[in-house]
């Protein structure tokens, strides 16, 4: 694996976006108190781990301690209250206020009820809704909480957030947190395929039909290092049974989560190394491709998330391309793969 060198134009764009994300986070997260970070993505979605690692690295760079963190199964609101005091509570970005992925909203409701005096910060997210009922229900997630910051990762999401949330909710538009990551490594050897297709196989999929002669996959289950998984579980259990040890056990849990995310991102880079050019209807793989200086053709998802992020954040990258439908995407991808400069 070799560290990618972005073109001068792409490197400048990434630096600008990283600066904008950092400045936005600096505005709302004070450096003089610890934070809570919820909830760790114990899944195989590399994009979720890109967001997690980017935020952990940001907090570390500012010397901000994570006083409480948990994944869905270990989350306990009473432990959160004891650990965080009046510090801010951060929620990982993504699609997090819709019943499409209801567990995120469930945690937000519980925290808003239990922590009325804490600042609640929803990190850069897409405001995506299944229907009007979903939209109305999302507007009630934080109840009457008076200190909520919603970070939208595109102007379309920001407009939706301002429409559905109470007027006292602060809505800001900023790029996805993954633009805080450094350029990612690529394999020095040649790729096995000219074109690979990372196709969504979940609720956000547009259900595209893909030709048989293209390698197609979604993010696949991957064995995490059992040492990190066990360390996280043991740390969580100790923290609950011996509250006086919570600062120490939280540090262990945070370190294990970070290591798992690093592994998943490394796995994601290995997956993308299989092809010269990537086609995808997932959002974060095209950002990962931009960080690797790898050509990627992005397709629409079912709800418009990809187009909004491409318009706001990635259309300026030299290796990122848009297609409205699969035949066009494959035509662009095959032409790019055949070009002399294709890697």
Compute the average pLDDT of residues 144-153.
Answer: 96
Distance CA 107, CA 318 (A): 39
Query: How much of the chain is in helix, strand and coil states, percent to nearest 5?
Result: 45, 15, 40
Q: Is the pLDDT assigned to residue 237 strictly greater than 80? A: no
Range of the domain at 26: 2-180
**pLDDT for res 97:** 87
**Phi-psi category of 18—alpha, beta or left, where left has phi over 0 and alpha has psi -120 to 50?**
alpha
Distance CA 277, CA 296 (A): 6
pLDDT tens, 178-201? 999 999 999 877 888 999 999 998
pLDDT tens, 113-142? 999 999 999 999 999 888 899 889 989 999
In a domain, 205, yes or no: no
In a domain, 195, yes or no: no
Q: Is the pLDDT assigned to residue 54 strictly greater than 90? A: yes
In a domain, 172, yes or no: yes
**pLDDT for res 182:** 97
With CA atoms as reference, report the closest residue to 254 among 22, 61, 65.
65
- Report the CATH number at residue 159: 3.40.50
Asked if residues 298 and 321 have their Cβ atoms less than 8 Å apart, the reply is yes
pLDDT tens, 15-40? 999 999 999 999 999 999 999 999 99
Considering the chain, what percentage of its residues have pLDDT values greater than 70?
Answer: 91
In a domain, 62, yes or no: yes
* Residue 228: how many other CB atoms lie within 10 Å: 18
With CA atoms as reference, report the closest residue to 224 among 2, 58, 41.
41
In a domain, 54, yes or no: yes
* Number of domains composing the chain: 1
Distance CA 224, CA 237 (A): 20
In a domain, 49, yes or no: yes
In a domain, 212, yes or no: no
Q: Is the pLDDT assigned to residue 228 strictly greater than 50? A: no
In a domain, 306, yes or no: no
| Average pLDDT score, the chain | 90
Compute the average pLDDT of residues 86-90.
Answer: 96
């Amino acid at each position: 694996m070799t560290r990618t060198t972005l073109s001068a134009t792409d490197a400048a764009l990434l630096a600008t976006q990283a600066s904008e994300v950092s400045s936005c986070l600096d505005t709302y997260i004070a450096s003089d108190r610890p934070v809570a970070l919820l909830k760790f993505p114990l899944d195989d979605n590399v994009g979720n781990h890109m967001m997690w690692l980017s935020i952990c690295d940001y907090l570390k760079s500012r010397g901000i301690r994570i006083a409480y963190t948990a994944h869905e199964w270990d989350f306990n609101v009473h432990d959160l209250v004891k650990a965080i005091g009046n510090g801010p509570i951060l929620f990982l970005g993504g699609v997090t206020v819709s019943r499409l992925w209801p567990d995120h909203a469930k945690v937000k409701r519980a925290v808003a009820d239990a922590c009325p005096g804490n600042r609640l910060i929803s990190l850069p997210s897409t405001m995506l809704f299944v229907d009007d009922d979903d939209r109305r229900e999302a507007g009630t997630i934080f109840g009457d909480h008076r200190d909520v910051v919603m970070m939208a990762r595109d102007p379309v999401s920001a407009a939706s957030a301002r429409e559905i949330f109470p007027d006292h909710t602060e809505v800001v538009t900023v790029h996805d947190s993954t633009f805080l990551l450094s350029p990612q490594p690529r394999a020095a050897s040649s790729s096995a395929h000219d074109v690979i297709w990372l196709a969504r196989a979940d609720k956000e999929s547009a259900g595209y039909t893909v030709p048989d002669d293209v390698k197609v996959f979604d993010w696949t289950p991957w064995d995490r290092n059992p040492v990190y998984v066990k360390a996280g579980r043991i740390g969580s259990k100790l923290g609950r049974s011996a509250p006086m040890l919570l600062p120490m056990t939280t540090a262990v849990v945070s370190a294990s989560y970070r290591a798992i995310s690093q592994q998943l991102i490394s796995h994601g880079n290995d997956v993308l190394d299989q092809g010269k050019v990537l086609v995808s209807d997932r959002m974060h793989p095209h950002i990962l491709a931009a960080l690797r200086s790898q050509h990627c053709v992005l397709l629409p998802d079912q709800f418009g998330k990809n187009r909004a992020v491409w318009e706001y954040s990635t259309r300026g990258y030299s290796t990122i391309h848009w297609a409205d439908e699969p035949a066009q995407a494959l035509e662009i991808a095959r032409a790019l793969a055949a070009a002399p400069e294709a890697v």
